[in-house]
Amino acid sequence: MEMNATRRAFIGGAVAFAAWPATAAEQCASPSPAPSPWETPDGMATDSVMVRRIYLDLAGRIPSKDEAKAYVLGGRPSRRKELVERLLASDDFADYWAMRFCDVLRVKSEFPINLWPNAVYVYHGRIRRFVKGNESWASFGRALLTSQGSDFRDAEVNFFRATDRRTPEGWAEATAQTFLGIAPAELSPERRAELAAYFGNVRIKNTREWKEEIVYVDGPDRRGELCERLFSGARDEVASAFRRRLRGWLFGADSAACADGGTLKVKDAIREIVLSDEYARGSVTGGFPARRLDAEVLDDAFCSLGGAERKYFSPAPEPFSFLPPSRRTVCIEDGSISSSFLTLFGRPTRDTGLESERGSDVTAKQRLYLFNSGSLARQIDNMVKTSGKKAGFRERIDDIYWRLISRAPTAREFGFLDGERKRRGKRGWSEVPRELAWSLVNSKEFLLRI
In angstroms and rounded to an integer, the radius of gyration of the C-alpha atoms of the chain is 24
User: What is the per-residue DSSP string for 195-244?
Assistant: HHGGGTTEEEEE-SSTT-EEEEE-S---HHHHHHIIIIITHHHHHHHHHH
Residue 32's H or E segment, with its range, is: none
Whole-angstrom Cα distance, residue 284 to residue 18?
Answer: 14
Query: Would you state the pLDDT for residue 318?
Result: 61
Whole-angstrom Cα distance, residue 212 to residue 428?
Answer: 62
Q: What is the sign of the dihedral through the CA atoms of 14, 18, 24 and 25?
A: positive
Alpha carbon of residue 132 to chain centroid: 17
User: What is the per-residue DSSP string for 294-327?
Assistant: PHHHHHHHHHHHHTPPP--B-SSSSSTT---TTS
Q: Provide CB contacts within 8 A for 75, sequence distance 6+.
A: none
Question: Phi and psi (nearest 5°) for 291?
Answer: -140, 150
Q: How far apart are the first and last CA of the chain?
A: 33
Q: Are 211 and 238 in contact (CB under 8 A)?
A: no
Q: Are 20 and 39 in contact (CB under 8 A)?
A: no
- Return per-residue pLDDT of the chain as tens, 450 residues: 233 433 344 354 434 333 333 333 333 333 345 678 899 999 999 999 999 999 999 999 999 999 999 999 988 889 999 999 999 999 999 999 999 999 999 999 999 999 999 999 999 999 999 999 999 999 999 999 999 999 999 999 999 999 999 999 999 999 999 999 999 999 999 999 999 999 999 999 999 888 999 999 999 999 999 999 999 988 999 999 999 999 999 998 765 555 555 789 999 999 999 999 999 999 999 999 999 999 999 999 998 887 777 788 887 756 566 778 788 999 999 999 999 999 999 999 999 999 999 998 889 999 999 999 998 999 999 999 887 667 899 999 999 999 999 999 999 999 999 999 999 999 999 999 999 999 999 999 999 999
Query: Would you state the pLDDT for residue 311?
Result: 80
Give the predicted TM-score (pTM) of the model.
0.92
Burial class (CB in 10 A: 0-12, 13-18, 19+), 31: exposed
Of 401, 412, 405, 397, residue with least CA distance to 34: 412
Q: Are 353 and 174 in contact (CB under 8 A)?
A: yes
